[in-house]
Each structure stands twice: as structure tokens, then as C-alpha cells.
Chains A and B, each alone.
Chain A
Amino acid sequence: MSLLELKNIYKIYGDLHALDDVNLKVEKGEWLSIMGPSGSGKSTMMNIIGCMDKPSKGEVLLDGVDIAKESAKNLTAIRRDKIGLIFQQFHLVGYLTAIENVMLAQYYHSVPDEKEALEALDRVGLADRAKHLPSQLSGGEQQRVCVARALINYPEIILADEPTGNLDDANEKIVVDLFHKLHSEGTTLIVVTHDPEVAEVAQRTVYLRNGKLHKETINENFTGEIKFDNEVEI
């Protein structure tokens, strides 16, 4: 059984089909990229997979459970237990320090554990910035705090909606390297991106257009390492 399976998913706003009969299977441990022009329905799809929105029609099986039929309360619980979210805008709580932002996810999940939170920050290379407020961190550092927060509760899937959209190449590389590390530990990754370089790293890329899946490519020589067309200085 696949970890995630979308069956004939529609999302309809008025007469706009944001998603139009989408079928997709994602296996456990897979690294999938989603690409497509603006307005093609990528975020809509991520919201549905991330239990933040429901499809107008169709089934979404996560671990064999149809999340399209669950109550809002259960969806919150599923999201909390199984899914780690990363956004294009970094979305940290402004008056909490980096480590407290990570602990917030623990707080809603179970109990805050400062030691564990510090380890997660260490994994993204920010142990020395634990006591800084988001306003005192650079964009790339903020996004790494978000990654630490997403992975703190050992989610089965990490969903990232344009995680590198606001980052420069250097930070992009750091984040992709983190994905690589998570992937090698068995975490399933679904990454929406406009950036072909980020998309190419994944094992598989699907293309959305006007709410429909129209193309799929498999990365034959998958390494998980990001390659840049033009060299950057780090």
C-alpha cells in the first residue's frame, strides 16, 4: 500500500477547477517534486495532502485512512502526528525564540522537551542561535528553524511549499541538503517548487497545469545532491 494516494481529486471554486481529476500515488520514503505554473493548483494540492483543506470530490488515502472524510478536529490531530509543514514565508512566532518556536510544535504534539528541540536546531546547524528571536535571524536561518520545527515530531511526510522561494542559492543548498539528510533517514518528502534545480534533485517530478497532472519525470541518476548550472561561491 502506498503511503499517500489521491484518487480522482477535484477542488472546485465556483466554476474554477483548481484541481481537476488528479490521481497520484506516493510511496513511503519517496522524494517527490511538484512543478507547474502559477495558479496551476500546487498549493491547493499541498493543502489537501496537509489536512488543511478538503477536496470537493475524491478520496485522499493517507496510511489507508480517507482524510477527505475526517472531521476538522481529527484532521488537526493527523496533521500534528504525521505531517511536517514548511512554507515559502517562514512563519515563525515573532515573540518566541528559535528554540521556543521548535518547542511549540512539541507542545501541541505532546510535551515540550528543550534538549530534543536543541538537538533539532543542531541538525539544521543553528544550535548557537537557539535563543535568538526570528527578527534576529536571516531568512535562510529562519527557514532552517522551520525545518527543525517540521522534523521535531518525526513526521511521516514533510510537505514543503516553495521552501526555497525566498532564499538565495547558498541557503537553498543548505535547505536541500537538509532534505537529502531527512530523505536518507526514510522521511517521505513532497516539495513544491518553481526552481528546476531544486525539483531535479528529487527522485520523481510531477507537473501540474490548469489543475491537471500532465507530465511526470523520473530522475534516473538520483543522488539527492543539488547541482548548480552556474557555480556559486559559498
Chain B
Amino acid sequence: MFFRMIFGTLFRQWKKMLMIAFTIALGASLATAMLSVMLDVGDKVNQELKTYGANITVVPKENSVLSSLYEVEGEGGTGAYLREDELGNIKTIFWAFNIIDYAPFINASVKLDDGTEVSAVGTWFNHHMELPTGEQLDAGVTSMRSWWEIVDGKWLDEQTGSADGAMVGKALAEKLGIKSGDTLHLNGTVSDISLNVVGIFDAGGDEDDKIFMPADTAQSLDGLDGKIDSIEVSALTTPENDLAIKAAKDPKSLTIAQYETWYCTAYASSICYQIQEVITDSVASPVRQVADSEGAILEKTQLLMSLITILSLIGAALGICNLVTASVMERSAEMGLMKAIGAQNSSVSGLVLTEITVTAVFGGTAGFFAGWGFAQIIGHSVFGSAITMRPVVIPLVAVLVLIVTLAGCIPAIRMLLRLSPCEVLHGR
């Protein structure tokens, strides 16, 4: 009987119910899209930011002074280097967890057999590290230069022992007529080596004119074992504020309390400061605009999405509220009649709530899948990758839809409770 009545209303008022389902679907789809993107966006933004490369660079102290004075790239001209064996320390600083990736760079100038000079860079590709903390980490350009497009061959994999491998930039490869699988003979100042070209990459910049090889290989060419020119670090940072700016000028100008706050906040400047503490004679400096925008992008995107979600849910609740109230008002005679022939408030409200819940289940399910689609569209157009559906989104959306639907029903239910059978039955 109950179901007969439910279906009676659902079919008789199918237009109204469809509108309600549509409203719920709209709210649910936005909530689903925003929640999935929001939960997944942390990773997506990280990826996105890694695509911008490093946001902190570390160079030897002397070079830093020189290059800022004469605006020249420190290329070992002063003979100052950083120590490769200290690199693991970066993962031991206070904000180690915010350090996403880093890689050392050592420049070598080498000659081909015909005497042509080419610039070679030694670095880490996917360097495996066992940290003093017991943690393990794969760091290097494979992830820090994830935007490199491999036009031929593949990424160099340090872990499978291709120490004699190299990757060649597209422009250079075209000039020299090299393709992956070729062998390249390079003469350094100290030794010479034959390298196997594993891949050709398109970086879309001046790196396209360079040969990239494992750091060890490059060091041995110039006899610079264990030495590196610079480090690029990719770290998650908090947007700078007055305190951070003041500290960046001179940490000693801070009071102890300010110093504590600054040191324990993931500002780019405090992370730089902490890196300097663990790398001997180094200067770490933020690559300004990226470091600033990074944290801000994440926070603002999430704030924006929360706002959209909340607003869309409020909108849905208002819409539902209107439609349900109208539907109940239209049926007030019927509801009054039910009360008159003995229906308690609970069973009349139950009837309406069940109807709306059935509608909400259909609308919510449809909205969920639509939202999933939206999320993918957003993922592809904004972050350039698919959004992974987190399982937690399903119960979250279900609960939100339920709350919104029930909230939307409150005025209608209140009206039902107040509805007196004699008012409707005697046509007043």
C-alpha cells in the first residue's frame, strides 16, 4: 500500500519529481566534481609545480657572490664546489617532508673526437638513496624534468646500471645526427669515455643543446669526483608574509619567538635557511615567483572549490526546498485527507520524505556520475591529467546529498505538521 502510494505520487508528479531529481543531480555532480578534484588536486598541483622545475637552487657561497656581482653562470670558474655526499642531508632538515625532489648538477665541457665542443651535464636521473633516517628516496631529473618529451628511446634508468648511458637534447642530436642506441665518444680534460645514447629529449629550452649523463660519469671526465656545481630543489612552501620577508633579509633580526615561528613554518626562506645549515658553504635561494605562487595556488584552488561546492549545495537545497514545498502544497488536500482518515504526522511526513529520498537516490546517482565526468574534464583541461576517484568521495557525496535534500524538505515538513485536516477538507 505504502509503495503503491509512493509510486502513485512519483508517477503522477513525475515532472516535479524530475525537476527535484535534476536539482539534486546538479548539486551532487558539482559536489562530486569539486570533492574529487579537491582531494586529488594536492597531488595534481604538486605534479604541475614540479613541471615548473625547482623552486630553490643551491650554489657554492663564492659562486653565488660572483654570479650576482658579474651576472655570470658559475661554471666552476672559482673552483668552488658543493659536495655530492651531503645531498642526503637535505632530507633530514626540519621541513624534510616538504622536499619533494632534488637533483645535483655538474657541468663539464667535453670535446667530440672531431674537436667539436659540447656541453655535458652530470646529474641524477632516478638516483636511489638510503637516508640516515632509514627512509628511501628516488630523486633526480626523471621526475624534476617530467615535462621533457622523449622523442626517441627512453629515460635513462640509473638503477638498472646504465652508468655508461646518456641522454641527448633534441637540438644537439639533430646537429650531430644522433639517435638512440648510438654510441658517443667524449673527451674530457682528464679522461675520455664512450657513452650509449639511451634517449633523445625535447626540453623546449637551452637544455636541448646539452648531453645529460649520470653525475659520476661527468665528474670522472674532468676529475672532479664527488663535486657538484649546484643543486635544484623542489619543495612545497607556504606563501611568504611579512615575517618571512623580514627573515629572508636577515634571520638574526628576529626575536626568539619570531625565529621559532619562522623556522617552523614552511616558508621558502626558512627551507632555504635549513638547507644552508646542512650543505657546507652553500647559498640556497628561492626561485621567486614559483615559490610564492606554489602554496598560494594550492590554497586558493582548494578554497575556491570549497566555496563552489558549498554554494552549489546551498543552491540545490533552496531549489529542492521550493519544489518540495510546491509539491506538498499542491497535495495539501490529499495530505489533509490522509490525516483526517487517521494518518499520524509521522506517516504523512514519512511518505513525503520517502518520495524525496527515492528521487534523491536517482538524482544523486546520476549526479555522481555526471560529476565524475566533470572532474575528468577539469582534470584534463586544468591539470592535464585524469582525476583519480577517491573512494571517500562516494560516502561524502552521499551524506552531503542526504543533508541537502533533508534540509530542503524542512519547510515542507513543517507545513505538513501544521496542516490541519479541517482547513483543507472544508475548502477554507
Size of interface on B: residues with Cβ below 8 Å to A: 26
In the bound assembly, the distance between CA atoms of A8 and B374 in angstroms comes to 69
Known: A76-B344, A80-B341, A100-B1. A161 touches B8 (CB 8 A): no
Note all chain B residues with C-beta closer than 8 A to A95: 8-9, 11-12
Q: In angstroms, how far is the closest chain A Cβ from the Cβ of B421? A: 5
- Could you tell me the distance between the alpha carbons of A193 and B40 in the complex, rounded to whole angstroms? 72
Tell me the complex Cα distance, A100–B232, Å. 78
Contacts of B425 in A (CB 8 A): 52, 85, 87, 89, 91
**In the assembled complex, how far is the CB of residue B155 from the closest CB belonging to chain A, in whole angstroms?**
67
Q: Are A73 and B9 in contact (CB under 8 A)?
A: no
A-B contact number at CB 8 A: 78
B163 within 8 A of A: no
Which residue on A lies nearest to B7, using beta carbons? A95
Complexed CA–CA distance, A105 and B342 (Å): 7
* Chain B 1-50 interface residues, beta-carbon cutoff 8 Å to A: 1-2, 4-5, 8-9, 11-12
Pick from A20-28, A33-41, A106-114 the stretch touching chain B: A106-114
Question: With A and B bound together, what is the CA distance between A43 and B339 in angstroms?
Answer: 17
Check if A210 is an interface residue, CB within 8 A of chain B: no
Q: Which single member of A92, A108, A112, A161 contacts B343 (CB below 8 Å)? A: A108
Contacts of B2 in A (CB 8 A): 107
Q: How far is the CB of B4 from chain A (nearest CB, A)?
A: 6
Q: Are B12 and A107 in contact, with the CB atoms below 8 A?
A: no
Check B422–A53 contact: CB distance below 8 A.
yes
Q: How far is the CA of A161 from the CA of B8 in the complex (A)?
A: 28
Interface string of A169-187 (1 = CB under 8 A from B): 0000000000000000000
Is the pair B8, A52 in contact by a Cβ cutoff of 8 Å? no
By a CB distance below 8 angstroms, the chain A residues around B340 are 50, 52, 79, 85, 91
Residues of chain B in range 388-428 having any CB-CB distance to chain A below 8 Å: 420-422, 425-427
A218 on interface, CB distance cutoff 8 Å: no
Chain A residues, Cβ within 8 Å of B1: 100, 103-104, 107, 112
Q: Quick check: is A14 within 8 A (CB to CB) of the other chain?
A: no
Within 8 A of A (CB), among B328-346: 333-334, 337-345
> Could you say which residues of chain A place their CB within 8 Å of the CB of B421?
52
A203 at the interface (CB under 8 A from B): no
* Chain B residues closer than 8 Å to A53, beta-carbon distance: 420, 422
B334 contacts A94, C-beta separation under 8 Å: yes
B347 within 8 A of A: yes
User: Chain A residues with Cβ under 8 A from B339's Cβ?
Assistant: 76
The smallest C-beta distance from B340 to any residue of chain A, in angstroms, reads: 6
Contact B12 A94 (CB under 8 A): yes
- Given A94-B334, A112-B1, also A43-B426 (CB < 8 A): yes
Q: How far is the CB of A22 from chain B (nearest CB, A)?
A: 17
Q: Are B337 and A108 in contact (CB under 8 A)?
A: no
> Which 3 pairs show the lowest CB-CB distances between chains A and B?
A80-B342, A95-B8, A108-B342
A residues near B (Cβ < 8 Å) are 43, 47, 50, 52-53, 72-73, 76-77, 79-81, 85, 87-89, 91-96, 100, 103-105, 107-109, 112, 149, 153, 161
Q: List 16 A-B contacts (CB under 8 A).
A: A52-B425, A76-B339, A76-B344, A76-B345, A79-B342, A81-B342, A85-B425, A88-B426, A93-B337, A95-B11, A96-B4, A104-B5, A107-B1, A108-B341, A108-B342, A112-B1
